[in-house]
Amino acid sequence: MTFKLDSNSKLMQPEFTFGVATAAFQIEGANTTDNRCPSIWDTFCAQPGKVLGGDDGSVACDHYNLWLEDIDMIESLGVDAYRLSIAWPRIISDIDGTVNAKGLAFYDKIIDELNRRNIKVFVTLYHWDLPQYLEDQGGWLSRDTVSAFVKYAQVISEHFQDRIYSYATFNEPWCSAYLGYQYGVHAPGHTSRKEGLQAAHHLLLAHGLGVEEIRKHTTAAQVGIVLNFTPGYSATQSVEDIRATQIYNDYNSHWYIQPLMQGSYPESIQVLYPSEMPSIEAGDMQAINTPIDFLGINFYTRYVVEAPGADCIEDFQQVSQQHTGAEHTHIGWEIHAPALYRLLTELNQRYALPPIYITENGAACDDHLIDGEVNDLQRCHYLQQHLQMVDKAIVDGVDIRGYFAWSLMDNFEWAEGYSKRFGLVHVDYSTQKRTLKKSALNFKALLNSRSHIA
């Protein structure tokens, strides 16, 4: 199959941005090179049983050494933009705040090369790799980490200024806060609801203050944040299931977007967990509510939610994603593209949103390299369906400016190690050979077809 969008599709207009995305820890490797200090993920990977297969990010895709040929590959796809993250441990590699010139020089090379090739640079400042020295001082449970992030944002924006087209302060603070501090499945591996909510508040506060800092050093760059959404759907129309679904959505989605857009946390969660609310100081909510130029939305799947059983520790329960008989990806996530359309239109109705970019969308598939080819038809169908939903949302009034496929290439998939492949490009980790999958070739053909539209 090939991707097909109607010639008058909103996505085929020249102003719509298509890109691919990666994250530093997932692809760079070289985790002790050129004064890079340990991150919380280096520490987490070293703990037995935390990452599938005992995998780590010490080599990953060796992008630290192969960055130039990877940019060649990005350019060959015909994308308008590349979304990458900067590794904080490469930039400020000591608790004394000393700036590491070698770290800045590495990203200088990448950013200058992308600009030379007219590929827009979308940078995420924080994609989960907190320097370990900050975690040792309390991590995202400490307001000192908020101050450290603002200093880091200053260093990056002062150095790169408008060479970066778009700055995102954070990628998916939900994951950093809840997976890292409440559920324990991501670094640093804590398991406390109170800590999860406190970490979330500090991440959002660091975002707001970071936006203000970045704007001091840029004149044209966009500044925003990237949130992930896995919307909950009620299993039945019972009062109990509907209530549980509301709690799920307030806790997992609106806890993050509502303070950004409206300067307040959802009341339902405050009522439900009064003793576990974060410590909030005067001016915090105003800072979090700082206007942004764009909102990045990451979407992969939905959850079906029901009232909790007797042994459930939450006030909602996720029905197994195998419940519907629907198609699932290799990571076990249901494929339900209409949920993306519904998410976008409902958020647009509820909030006064800035322009939106779909900053991640993709699928982990059971890919196999056979005779030099990867025929990843499931990913091709997945991307086709979701692109159509983005187009439909634009037609129905949502201001969406771009779409980034996750991911450019197979990489270190956090707690799943190297067992799951999200890439448009296959990586043989033993040789670092890159092979464009069928999905990459389809994506390239779609982007090339834009030039033929009158």
Interval 178-227: pLDDT, tens: 999 999 999 999 999 999 999 999 999 999 999 999 999 999 999 999 99
pLDDT of residue 454 exceeding 70: no
Residue 321 lies in a domain: no
Residues 410-431, mean pLDDT to the nearest whole number? 98
202 Cβ neighbours under 8 A, 6+ residues apart: 140, 141, 142, 143, 145, 146, 278
The number of domains in the chain is 1
pLDDT of residue 429 exceeding 70: yes
Among 163, 164, 166, 185, CA closest to 174: 185
Residue 39 lies in a domain: yes
Residue 318 lies in a domain: no
* Partners of residue 79 on adjacent β-strands: none
DSSP code, position 370: B
Q: Tell me: the pLDDT tens digits for 62-88? A: 999 999 999 999 999 999 999 999 999
Residues 263-270, mean pLDDT to the nearest whole number? 98
Residue 64 lies in a domain: yes
Q: Tell me: the pLDDT tens digits for 107-142? A: 999 999 999 999 999 999 999 999 999 999 999 999
Residue 121's SS3 state is: strand
pLDDT of residue 453 exceeding 80: no
228 Cβ neighbours under 8 A, 6+ residues apart: 172, 174, 175, 297, 298, 299, 300, 360
Give pTM, 2 decimals.
0.98
Residue 18 lies in a domain: yes
Cβ–Cβ < 8 Å for 333, 272: no
161 Cβ neighbours under 8 A, 6+ residues apart: 217, 218, 219, 221
| Count of C-beta atoms within a 10 Å radius of residue 229 | 23
Residue 271 lies in a domain: yes
Among 284, 333, 298, CA closest to 128: 298
Residue 392 lies in a domain: yes
Instruction: Give the whole-angstrom CA distance, residue 375 versus residue 368.
Output: 8
Peptide bond into 188 cis (omega under 30): yes
Residues 154-171, mean pLDDT to the nearest whole number? 98
∠208-175-267 over CA atoms, to 5°?
A: 65
155 Cβ neighbours under 8 A, 6+ residues apart: 91, 92, 99, 104
CATH number of the structural domain spanning residue 276:
3.20.20.80
**What SS3 string covers 135-204?**
HCCCHHHCHHHHHHHHHHHHHHHHHHHHHCCEEEEEECHHHHHHHHHHCCCCCCCCCCHHHHHHHHHHHH
Residues 405-433, mean pLDDT to the nearest whole number? 98
Residue 34 lies in a domain: yes
For 356, the domain range is 10-234+252-306+329-452
Average pLDDT, the chain: 96
385 Cβ neighbours under 8 A, 6+ residues apart: 335, 337
pLDDT of residue 322 exceeding 80: no
Residues involved in catalysis: 172, 360
Residues 9-24, mean pLDDT to the nearest whole number? 95
Instruction: Give the whole-angstrom CA distance, residue 239 versus residue 259.
Output: 27
The backbone torsions φ and ψ at residue 54, rounded to the nearest 5 degrees and listed phi first, read 65, 20
Cβ–Cβ < 8 Å for 420, 331: yes
The confidence band for 301, taking pLDDT boundaries of 50, 70 and 90, is very high
